[in-house]
């Protein structure tokens, strides 16, 4: 290869000059001739030759083989040995250095030319191979995946730092070890070891595997979730010289995937419960409208009858059935988080003690209740009736978890501080902010629940009891959520169940109006007959409710004008209504809703008393429409006395 630089190391000047002339005639550069080791090393530093023609036997100092060792060690130079001696010992020493050629003196010019040309070609090929190997090694060292290479016997011949970190084996210690000892990994679904797959790859040249769900055990016993790719190294077609194993650490990715799946499950569960809540709330609202009509008709009939009449007793029984139906609608509203609540400061400990005392006689004889109530708890802002229902349902469920053995129910209260991460373990807890909560925990050692049952316990009307009915835990869930709290459940078959309900420790009561209490419904209200006069405008899209309200109001002494929707009501108002005392408006109407109508009335006829009616709870309406300056709210279904009491408040 003309143009390449060649260094001649020869102590006989005549032979050296003859070789120089020949090589230069062939187009090579021979800038320097050296005669010993010192001159050789200096010439290499200065000329950087591409090939060295080196006489083995030099006149003085180190011989050519010793010089060649230094040249290969420091500069990786290709060497052609020249010698007049061909004894076995010399040839053995020379062969150990793997020279590019070996010429015996005297040699022909053509022989020298061929040897130089072949040596330069092989040197160029070796440099390219070393550069490729260097790039390959650098790549393997730098990539983020672990790489382990075995030889044909299944022993480790290469390992990069990532693989060393995953396996816990330092590279120097891993080299030469059986790969089965270094890579201790199993395929989770099939429990197949990675070592057995490597052994297969060593005998099946065309077999390439990629495996997910591998569990890698490091030398320090730490676990890594990995995926692996195996490919055989082919020395010749169908001849395997080793196996390459590429390991990818999937621990972080799988953790993120599991977290994403958990979030998706929570989102789907939240959406499902939201849908059920909307469905339950909507049904309860419409159900209350229907009950209002039936209850009103029955109550009017009872008002016109003597209490001694046999018909009166039948109507009274029908009325009792209606109240139970109204209670069911109330449970549906509780599940949807829209149940009627009378908010007040509650002593949770006293409330729990009262319920336990009430239920002791109704629980199974062998069921005992153990109380652990924390002292000096802050008050709970809530509805006493609904919180009692929560305690009662949780205790009843705990008692029914014991089938044949004696039962011990542990009930405790305490003040806890919850972080957002802790709240994430509660049902709908991710909707809450971290802070201080009152915790009510009911724990039993009963039959427990499996995962499938736990996934459905808060669904409306779901039960595992043969004679189960009602909303049960669904209402509990809705009440707790309506109070701004959450609930946690832990259970396993035969290991009992723990329910933990949390409520904000200092939850502020909803501002504005509240529905009349039960006392207001039953107590006789002193009514000034002069105040029950004038005209009331009733706006409701349900004809039956308009009729009932009209008869109620007329019985009290009012004149009544009705409208089936908001536009008709505005027309009535525009035409003028003499002695208008107030307006009763249904909240949910097609076209113009009740709040939209109230907004128009407020703008056109300021000062006119307005009362809204709805099947939803009072606090929700009051908080949402506080800007309308309402004079009252009626939650359907309502009784005659409830309406009269509300009107007295409105007209004052």
Q: Select from 564, 517, 511, 509 the least CA-distant residue to 537.
A: 564
Q: What is the mean pLDDT of residues 228-237?
A: 80
Q: Do 352 and 488 belong together in one domain?
A: yes
Gap between the Cα atoms of 320 and 318, Å rounded = 5
Identify any residues that bridge with 149 across adjacent strands, giving them in sequence order.
Answer: 158, 244
- Tell whether 642 and 537 lie within a shared domain: yes
Kindly report the backbone phi and psi dihedral angles of residue 126, in degrees, each rounded to the nearest multiple of 5, phi listed first: -65, -40
66 and 97 in a single domain? The answer is: yes
Task: Find the range with the poorest average confidence among 208-212, 346-350, 459-463.
Answer: 459-463
| pLDDT above 70: residue 137 | yes
Average pLDDT over residues 294-307: 81
Which tens digit of pLDDT belongs to each residue from 431-467? 898 999 999 999 998 888 888 888 878 776 666 664 4
Mean pLDDT of 101-114: 89
513 falls within a domain: no
CATH number at residue 368: 3.30.565.10
Tokens of 566: 């908001």
Indicate if 468 and 582 belong to the same structural domain.
no
Please check whether residues 135 and 149 belong to one and the same domain. no
Determine, yes or no, domain membership for 54.
yes
**352 with 481, same domain?**
yes
| pLDDT mean over 16-24 | 91
Same domain, 305 and 370: no
| E strand or H helix that includes residue 179 | helix 179-182
Q: Which residues contact 602 (CB under 8 A, 6 or more apart)?
A: 608, 610, 628, 629
Report the number of distinct structural domains present in the chain.
Answer: 5
Burial of residue 200 (number of CB atoms within 10 Å: 0-12, 13-18, 19+) = middle
Residue 443, beta-bridge partner list: 410, 498
Would you state the pLDDT for residue 520? 37
Answer yes or no: is 511 within a domain.
no
Sign of CA dihedral 639, 645, 648, 649: negative
- Residue 526's pLDDT band, with cuts at 50, 70 and 90, is very low
Share of the chain above pLDDT 70, in %: 84
Residue 489 domain flag? yes
- Domain interval for residue 463: 343-504
* Residue keyed to tokens 């705990």: 398
Q: Which residues is 214 bridged to in the sheet? A: 187, 226
Write down the residue that tokens 């929700």 correspond to: 620
Q: Tell me: pLDDT of 262 over 90.
A: no
Of 139, 159, 175, the last residue of a domain is 139
Residues 410, 372: contact at Cβ < 8 Å? yes
Under the banding of pLDDT at 50, 70 and 90, the label for residue 521 is very low
pLDDT value of position 511: 34
515 in a structural domain: no
Please state the rounded mean pLDDT for residues 562-585. Answer: 92
Least-confidence region, from 262-276, 553-567, 569-583: 262-276
Distances (CA, A) of 370 to 53, 357, 414, 495: 100, 12, 15, 18
Taking the C-alpha atoms of residue 103 and residue 266, their distance in angstroms, rounded to an integer, is 82
Q: Token match 């005639």: residue?
A: 25
497 lies in the same domain as 364: yes
Whole-number pLDDT of residue 506:
66
In a domain, 291, yes or no: yes
Same domain? 351 vs 499 = yes
Domain with residue 290: its CATH number is 1.10.287
pLDDT at 329: 66
- When comparing pLDDT for 117 and 507, which is higher? 117
Q: Is residue 518 part of a domain?
A: no
Confidence check: pLDDT of 281 > 80: no
Per residue in 504-519, pLDDT (tens digit) is 986 443 333 333 333 3
Distance (Å, rounded) from C-alpha 95 to C-alpha 101?
10
* Straight-line distance from the first to the last Cα atom of the chain, in angstroms, rounded to the nearest whole number: 117
Domain boundary among 335, 353, 373: 335
pLDDT: is 466 or 125 the higher one?
125
Q: Domain containing 23 — which CATH number?
A: 3.40.50.2300
The CATH number linked to 227 is 3.30.450.20
Task: Looking at the structure, tell me whether residues 18 and 114 fall in a common domain.
Answer: yes
Same domain, 437 and 306: no
User: Two tokens at 45?
Assistant: 């530093």
Has residue 521 been placed in a domain? Answer: no
Pick the last residue of a domain from 312, 335, 358.
335
Distances (CA, A) of 437 to 299, 391, 433, 620: 44, 16, 10, 22
Same domain flag for 293 and 368: no
* Residues 6+ positions from 442 with CB-CB distance below 8 Å: 391, 394, 395, 398, 409, 410, 411, 498, 499, 500
Q: For 362-412, what is each residue's pLDDT tens digit?
A: 665 667 889 999 988 899 888 887 888 889 889 888 888 886 666 889 999
Q: Which of 352-361, 463-472, 517-526 reaches the highest mean pLDDT?
A: 352-361
Average pLDDT of the chain is 82
């Amino acid at each position: 290869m003309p143009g390449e630089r060649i260094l001649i190391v020869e102590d006989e000047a005549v032979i050296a000059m003859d070789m120089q002339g020949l090589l230069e005639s062939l187009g090579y550069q021979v800038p320097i001739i050296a005669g010993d080791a010192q001159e050789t090393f200096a010439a290499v530093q200065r000329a950087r030759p591409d090939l060295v023609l080196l006489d083995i036997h030099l006149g003085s100092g180190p011989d050519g083989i010793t010089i060649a060792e230094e040249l290969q060690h420091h500069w990786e130079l290709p060497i052609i040995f020249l010698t007049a001696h061909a004894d076995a010992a010399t040839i053995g020493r020379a062969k150990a250095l793997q020279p590019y050629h070996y010429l015996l003196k005297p040699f022909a010019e053509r022989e020298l030319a061929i040897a130089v040309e072949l040596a330069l070609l092989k040197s160029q090929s070796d440099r390219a191979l070393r550069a490729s190997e260097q790039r390959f090694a650098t790549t393997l060292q730098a990539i983020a995946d672990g790489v382990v290479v075995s030889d044909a016997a299944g022993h480790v011949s290469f390992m990069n730092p990532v693989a060393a970190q995953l396996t816990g084996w330092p590279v120097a210690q891993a080299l030469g070890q059986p790969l089965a000892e270094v890579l201790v990994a199993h395929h989770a679904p099939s429990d197949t070891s990675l070592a057995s797959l490597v052994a297969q790859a060593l005998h099946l040249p065309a077999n390439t595997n990629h495996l997910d769900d591998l569990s890698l055990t490091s030398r320090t016993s730490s676990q890594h979730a990995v995926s692996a790719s195996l490919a055989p190294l082919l020395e010749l077609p169908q001849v395997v010289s080793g196996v390459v194993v590429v390991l990818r650490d999937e621990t972080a990715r799988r953790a993120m995937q599991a977290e994403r799946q958990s979030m998706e499950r929570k989102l789907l569960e939240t959406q499902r419960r939201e849908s059920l809540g909307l469905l339950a709330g909507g049904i309860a609202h419409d159900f209350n409208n229907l009950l209002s009509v039936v209850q009103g008709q029955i109550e009017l009939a009872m008002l016109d009858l003597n209490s001694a009449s046999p018909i009166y007793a039948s109507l009274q029984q029908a009325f009792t059935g209606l109240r139970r139906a109204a209670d069911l609608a109330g449970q549906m509203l509780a599940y949807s988080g829209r149940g009627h609540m009378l908010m007040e400061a509650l002593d949770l400990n006293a409330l729990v003690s009262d319920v336990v005392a009430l239920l002791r006689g109704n629980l199974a004889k062998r069921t005992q209740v153990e109380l652990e109530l924390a002292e000096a708890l802050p008050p709970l802002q809530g509805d006493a009736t609904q919180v009692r229902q929560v305690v009662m349902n949780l205790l009843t469920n705990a008692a029914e978890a014991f089938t044949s053995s004696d039962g011990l129910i542990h009930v405790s209260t305490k003040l806890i501080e919850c972080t957002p991460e802790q709240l994430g373990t509660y049902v709908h807890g991710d909707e809450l902010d971290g802070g201080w909560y009152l915790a009510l925990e009911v724990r039993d050692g009963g039959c427990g629940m499996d995962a499938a049952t736990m996934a459905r316990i808060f669904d409306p009307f779901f039960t595992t009891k043969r004679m189960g009915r009602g909303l049960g835990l669904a209402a509990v869930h809705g009440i707790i959520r309506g109070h701004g709290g959450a609930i946690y459940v832990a259970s396993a078959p035969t290991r009992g169940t723990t329910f933990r309900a949390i409520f904000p420790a200092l939850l502020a009561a909803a501002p504005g109006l509240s529905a009349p209490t039960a006392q207001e419904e039953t107590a006789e209200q002193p009514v000034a007959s002069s105040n029950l006069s004038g005209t009331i405008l009733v706006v409701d899209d349900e004809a039956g409710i308009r009729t009932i309200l009209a008869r109620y109001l007329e019985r009290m002494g009012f004149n009544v004008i009705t409208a089936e929707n908001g536009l008709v009501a505005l027309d009535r108002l525009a035409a003028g209504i003499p002695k208008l005392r107030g307006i009763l408006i249904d909240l949910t109407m097609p076209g113009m809703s009740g709040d939209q109508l109230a907004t128009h009335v407020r703008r056109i006829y300021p000062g006119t008393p307005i009362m809204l009616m709805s099947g939803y709870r009072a606090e929700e309406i009051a908080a949402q429409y506080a800007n309308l300056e309402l004079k009252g709210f009626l939650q359907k279904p309502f009784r005659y006395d409830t309406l009269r009491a509300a009107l007295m408040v409105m007209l004052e």
